[in-house]
């Protein structure tokens, strides 16, 4: 179970499960599409279709799809494959889930709660575990085709999954091919003001291959391995209109990823088991951007965000002692992890930035599940009471040491109600890009800034190798109602609260003049800095000191140092409520009706310094809305299925201009249907034919004001430009 290292243990945090059956009922063809339909996930960050103007963290580097729980960033959501880490994708510390063939997936489990005590860095917003169909038997192939009815996004795809099992093991192999055409701004009324030829959704072509197998090599000893390979190319066309014409840009990145995780499990006697694993992976995002001004030669910017990850872990778990309510079970272990990143940037044939760095860490952890009351004890109003505890210690040489605890409680007064509560601390190591991307340093005239003193100013901005881990504390409380008298009904509600501090940010927004005109930035100004401090800063800058002052550099004349590099300064407060309901009705004769829905309400804000006002996040443009929800119904009969889903994305405010404007909410309706086609008299179908219609009524995102002619004129982090999409799929099991 995701959220614990103890086999079969209870999880005191909420758990969101999207099973293979859910994916097929929705007609979803890749994990990115699955993730974007989950209300607790924000579609900003790295996702295809995110356009210009939404900020650096939402820059679409390679058309990958990354989970982004609560909008805290893909780097604050830990993504696992069969419980093991994958290499980071691109610059910002996320993991590309679209690289995993959806045909190989058994289920997706998400714990939207801090989980660093169990898993270490990155699990601030939560952890997502993609679990594969390890014991699949047979061969299933499919092919699909589809397109947006308003033009563009013509999709072609094929996949195959095959597997065999035997008495002592099994193996599963899956392949997926996907290709789509771009969507051009001219094909959508809400984007038609963009320069002619601009695309608002990239052209993508991707191949993915995954293998998962296990084999008992001796009595009580099992070897297993998961291996993944993916290659993707994409292309986005942009343009910026000026007085001389359109400056055209062509962004054509490629991404290649590989990972392999061998593991050995050994039965130690009794219920105890040891698991030793090694995980290695690498991701190569190679970017290639050609910018061509009118009547001039183009400038080619190229390079690589090349990530590698290596980890080794040893885990022991089993029963420690038996109490009247059951066994106290525990897990403990430790390991080593190393992440590396080689970054490069060239303009034409000139290198303008590069680094090749790595970060190591060592960790120890322990976890226990303690049953206090169990159902077999037959106590009034005390059907079940279980306590859990976990702690993890991590040492990052040269950066810091972190200890993260977590405790939880499960209480059932009766068979119809389960109450859960948890509290814990989490952390996230800064990304290597945030630390080492490089910074620039400028010498400026103090007289150019009215509130500044006499002399000169040194201003610096960019990466910062002295960053420390970000830290958070979180707690949640929830209830699940599952009355035995109403079989198939489950109702969940939970409250979550996260206090996130030492977040990495460039603290001063806008012009350097803001640092002097706004008293809230006073604590960030270093007055009369020492010569040694300035010399060290200049020596580490990408281009040394760039002098824009009217005099030569003299450290004694520097009145203020404005350090606007990435710094551990921001605090965020996040809270909200999640809701979910499921109900199934079985009519017999193979007929069944499944009803379900989930929704989330989110509040979040950010504080840079104690003197500055809090800045609202949730409910603002390019951030998650306060409300998101999805409800659906599926009817299945013998050889056929039909589903309908309604999706709600709440409104957000655009406060970039005066007057403030509301960006209206959107409701979309999706349909999916499947029928088994048989020959007369055949018990088994020849094939399954599926139809999917997403956004049935072709709802469109609202237009927003833009600051530049190339900025996407709608909130592309929340709203999709695809519109109505119709797809057909044919599948056969052999």
For the segment 181-229, what is each residue's pLDDT rounded down to a tens digit? 999 999 999 999 999 899 999 999 999 999 999 999 999 999 999 999 9
Mean pLDDT of 46-59: 87
Percent of the chain with pLDDT over 90: 86
Confidence band (pLDDT; 50, 70, 90) for 518? confident
Mean pLDDT of 707-733: 95
Q: For residue 1, what pLDDT is reported? A: 79
pLDDT mean across residues, the chain: 94
Is 243's pLDDT higher than 90?
A: no
Q: For residue 285, what pLDDT is reported? A: 96
Weakest-pLDDT range from 402-416, 421-435, 678-692: 678-692
Is 355's pLDDT higher than 60?
A: yes
Owner of token pair 């995993």 = 100
Q: For residue 160, what pLDDT is reported? A: 97
Q: Exposed, middle or buried, 657 (CB in 10 Å: 0-12/13-18/19+)?
A: exposed
Domain boundaries, the chain: 16-351+363-430+467-506+566-733
Mean pLDDT of 238-264: 93
Q: What is the DSSP letter of 430?
A: P
Mean pLDDT of 455-465: 93
Confidence band (pLDDT; 50, 70, 90) for 454? confident
Is 701's pLDDT higher than 90?
A: yes
For the segment 121-142, what is each residue's pLDDT rounded down to a tens digit? 999 999 999 999 988 999 999 9
What's the rounded Cα separation, in Å, for the pair 563 and 458? 8
For the segment 470-513, what is each residue's pLDDT rounded down to a tens digit? 999 999 999 999 999 998 899 999 999 999 999 999 998 878 88
Percent of the chain with pLDDT over 70: 99
Is 451's pLDDT higher than 60?
A: no
SS3 call for 186: helix
Q: How far is CA 456 from CA 217, 557, 561, in A?
A: 71, 6, 9
Name which of 606, 631, 630, 632 is nearest 619 in CA terms. Answer: 606
For the segment 553-609, what is each residue's pLDDT rounded down to a tens digit? 999 999 999 999 999 999 999 999 999 999 999 998 889 999 999 999 999 999 998
Q: For residue 134, what pLDDT is reported? A: 87
Is 450's pLDDT higher than 80?
A: no
What's the rounded Cα separation, in Å, for the pair 439 and 666? 41
> Which contiguous run of DSSP H or E holds residue 532?
helix 531-540
Q: Which residues contact 384 (CB under 8 A, 6 or more apart)?
A: 371, 373, 374, 375, 410, 411, 412, 418
What's the rounded Cα separation, in Å, for the pair 696 and 723? 8
CATH domain 16-351+363-430+467-506+566-733 topology: Maltoporin; Chain A (2.40.170)
* pTM given for the model: 0.94
Confidence band (pLDDT; 50, 70, 90) for 331? very high
Q: For residue 60, what pLDDT is reported? A: 83
Name which of 150, 148, 113 is nearest 128 in CA terms. Answer: 113
């Amino acid at each position: 179970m995701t959220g614990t290292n103890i086999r079969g243990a209870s999880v005191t945090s909420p758990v969101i499960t999207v099973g293979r059956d859910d994916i097929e009922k929705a007609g979803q063809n890749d994990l990115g599409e699955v993730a974007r339909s989950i209300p607790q996930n924000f579609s900003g960050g790295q996702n295809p279709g995110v356009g210009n103007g939404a900020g650096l963290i939402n820059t679409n580097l390679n058309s990958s799809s990354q989970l982004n729980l609560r909008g805290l960033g893909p780097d604050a959501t830990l993504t696992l494959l069969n419980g093991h880490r994958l290499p980071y994708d691109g610059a910002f510390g996320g993991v590309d889930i679209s690289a995993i063939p959806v045909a190989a997936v058994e289920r997706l489990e998400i714990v939207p709660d801090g989980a660093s005590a169990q898993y270490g860095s990155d699990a601030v917003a939560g952890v997502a575990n993609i679990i594969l169909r390890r014991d699949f038997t047979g061969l299933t192939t499919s092919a699909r085709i589809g397109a947006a009815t308003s033009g563009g996004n013509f999709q072609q795809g094929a996949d195959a999954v095959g597997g065999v099992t035997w008495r002592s093991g099994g193996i599963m192999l899956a392949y997926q091919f996907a290709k789509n055409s771009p969507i051009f701004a001219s094909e959508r009324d809400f984007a038609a003001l963009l320069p002619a030829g601009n695309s608002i959704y990239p052209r993508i072509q991707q191949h993915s291959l995954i293998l998962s197998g296990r084999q008992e090599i001796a009595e009580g000893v099992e070897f297993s391995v998961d291996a993944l390979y993916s290659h993707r190319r994409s292309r986005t066309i942009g343009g910026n209109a000026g007085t001389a014409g359109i400056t055209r840009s062509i962004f054509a990145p490629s991404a290649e990823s590989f990972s392999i995780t061998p593991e050995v499990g050994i039965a130690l006697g009794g219920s105890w088991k040891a698991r030793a694993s090694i995980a290695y992976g690498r991701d190569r995002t190679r970017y290639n951007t050609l910018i061509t001004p009118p009547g001039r030669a183009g400038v080619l910017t190229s390079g690589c965000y090349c990530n590698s990850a290596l980890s080794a872990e040893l885990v022991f778990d089993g029963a420690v002692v038996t109490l009247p309510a059951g066994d106290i079970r525990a897990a403990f272990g430790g390991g080593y992890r190393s992440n590396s990143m080689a970054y490069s940037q060239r303009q034409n044939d000139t290198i303008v930035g590069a680094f090749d760095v790595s970060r190591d860490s060592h960790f120890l952890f322990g976890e226990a599940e303690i049953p206090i009351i169990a159902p077999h004890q037959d106590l009034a109003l005390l059907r079940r009471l279980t306590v859990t505890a976990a702690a993890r210690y991590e040492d990052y040489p040269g950066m810091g040491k972190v200890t993260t605890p977590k405790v939880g409680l499960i209480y059932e007064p009766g068979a119809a109600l389960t109450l859960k509560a948890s509290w814990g601390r989490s952390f996230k190591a800064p990304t290597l890009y945030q630390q080492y991307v490089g910074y620039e340093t400028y010498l400026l005239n103090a007289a150019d800034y009215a509130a500044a003193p006499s002399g000169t100013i040194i201003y610096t901005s960019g990466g910062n190798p002295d960053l420390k881990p970000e830290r958070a504390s979180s707690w949640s409380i929830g209830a699940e109602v599952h009355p035995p008298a109403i079989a198939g009904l489950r109702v969940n509600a939970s409250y979550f609260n996260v206090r996130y501090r030492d977040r990495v940010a460039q603290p001063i927004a806008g012009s350097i003049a803001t640092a002097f005109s706004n008293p809230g930035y006073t604590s960030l100004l270093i007055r009369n800095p020492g010569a040694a401090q300035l010399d060290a800063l200049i020596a580490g800058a990408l281009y040394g000191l760039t002098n824009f002052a009217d005099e030569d550099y003299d450290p004694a004349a520097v009145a203020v140092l404005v350090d606007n590099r990435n710094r551990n300064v921001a605090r965020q407060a996040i809270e909200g409520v999640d809701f979910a309901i499921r109900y199934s009705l079985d009519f017999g004769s193979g007929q069944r009706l499944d009803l379900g829905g989930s929704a989330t309400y989110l509040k979040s804000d950010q504080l840079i310094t104690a003197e500055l006002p809090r800045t609202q996040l949730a409910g603002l443009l390019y951030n998650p809305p306060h409300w998101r929800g999805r409800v659906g119904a599926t009817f299945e009969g013998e050889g056929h299925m039909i589903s309908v889903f309604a999706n709600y994305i709440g409104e957000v405010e655009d406060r970039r201009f005066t007057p403030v404007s509301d960006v209206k909410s959107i409701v979309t309706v999706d349909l999916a249907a499947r029928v088994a086609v048989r020959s007369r008299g055949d018990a088994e179908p020849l094939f399954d034919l599926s139809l999917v219609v997403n956004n049935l009524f072709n709802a469109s995102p609202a237009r927003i004001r833009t600051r530049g002619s190339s900025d996407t004129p709608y909130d592309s982090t929340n709203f999709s430009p695809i519109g109505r999409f119709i797809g057909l799929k044919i599948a056969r099991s052999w």
